[in-house]
């Protein structure tokens, strides 16, 4: 019985691939074991349980999203930064729907606090440096941006905008235009 060379990290990476192919929900210990060519029980030396596996995939996805966001933001400001950040977010979700779903997996507070999600959130806030918003309005705006990005991508992925004109890409572009205009003229409380 040749060794398969498994580690928790490798399982998370393969689990992420699997998630993109069959959906995050369907990533089971069984399916993962089949994919790597070992018996199910063998996984349990590396991961504690299914929840642990999903958490690791979630952390991996958050890491990737934060890395891409950082790349996109480098050297940009204002509307440029907003659009680059938003596009990278949406493109990631469309290219890796399973990983994107994983990134929305509920993490316990300690894990979430130590995840790359924090880095990603800080970058969302950094975008607002190009606009003139003080606290607490800045936080409200951060939350609005998060809501729009997640909401749009999630509805789009669920097929909510398909099979009807106009094209969803069009709506995305106009949504970002509108957000930029809104942030520049943010209403007083």
- Name the residues that contact DNA, by CB under 7 A: 1-7, 28-31, 37-42, 44-46, 48-51
Six-digit token string for 74: 């480098």
Task: Considering only residues 154 through 183, tell me which ones interact with a copy of itself, judged by CB under 8 A.
Answer: 154-155, 158-161, 163-166, 168, 170-171, 174-175, 177-178, 181-182
68, 104, 111, 127: residue in contact with a copy of itself (rule CB under 8 A): 104
Give the three-class secondary structure for 82: helix
Q: Which does 129 bind (CB under 5 to 8 A by kind): DNA, a copy of itself, none?
A: none
Q: Which does 147 bind (CB under 5 to 8 A by kind): a copy of itself, DNA, none?
A: a copy of itself
Task: Pick between residue 88 and residue 89 the one whose CB is nearest to a copy of itself.
Answer: 89
For the bound state, the minimum distance from the C-beta of residue 89 to DNA, rounded and expressed in Å, comes to: 29
**Rounded-to-integer distance, Cα 23 and Cα 102, Å:** 9
Q: Which of 70, 74, 90, 60 is nearest to 151 (CA)?
A: 90
Q: 136: cis peptide before it, omega within 30°?
A: yes
Q: Residues 6 or more apart from 139 whose CB is under 8 A from it?
A: none
Cα–chain-centroid distance for residue 164? 26
Task: Pick between residue 6 and residue 172 the one whose CB is nearest to a copy of itself.
Answer: 172
Asked if 111 interacts with a copy of itself (CB under 8 A), we say no
Cβ pair 88, 69 in contact under 8 A: yes
Q: Which does 6 bind (CB under 5 to 8 A by kind): a copy of itself, DNA, none?
A: DNA
For the bound state, the minimum distance from the C-beta of residue 147 to a copy of itself, rounded and expressed in Å, comes to: 3
**Rounded-to-integer distance, Cα 134 and Cα 50, Å:** 43
Asked if 185 interacts with a copy of itself (CB under 8 A), we say yes
């Amino acid at each position: 019985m040749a060794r398969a060379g498994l580690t928790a990290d490798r399982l998370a990476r393969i689990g992420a691939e699997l998630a993109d192919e069959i959906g995050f929900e369907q990533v089971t210990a069984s399916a993962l074991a089949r994919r790597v060519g070992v018996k199910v029980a063998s996984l349990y030396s590396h991961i504690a349980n299914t929840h642990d596996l999903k958490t690791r995939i979630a952390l991996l996805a958050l890491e990737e999203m934060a890395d891409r966001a950082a790349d996109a933001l480098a050297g940009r400001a204002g509307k440029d930064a907003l659009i680059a950040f938003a596009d990278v977010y949406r493109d990631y979700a469309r290219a890796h729907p399973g990983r994107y779903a994983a990134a929305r997996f509920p993490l316990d507070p300690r894990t979430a606090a130590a995840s790359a999600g924090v880095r990603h959130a800080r970058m969302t806030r950094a975008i607002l440096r190009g606009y003139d918003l003080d606290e607490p309005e800045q936080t409200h705006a951060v939350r609005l941006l998060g809501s729009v990005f997640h909401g749009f991508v999630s509805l789009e992925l669920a097929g909510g905008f398909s099979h009807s004109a106009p094209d969803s890409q069009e709506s995305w572009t106009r949504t970002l235009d509108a957000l930029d205009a809104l942030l520049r003229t943010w209403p007083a409380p």
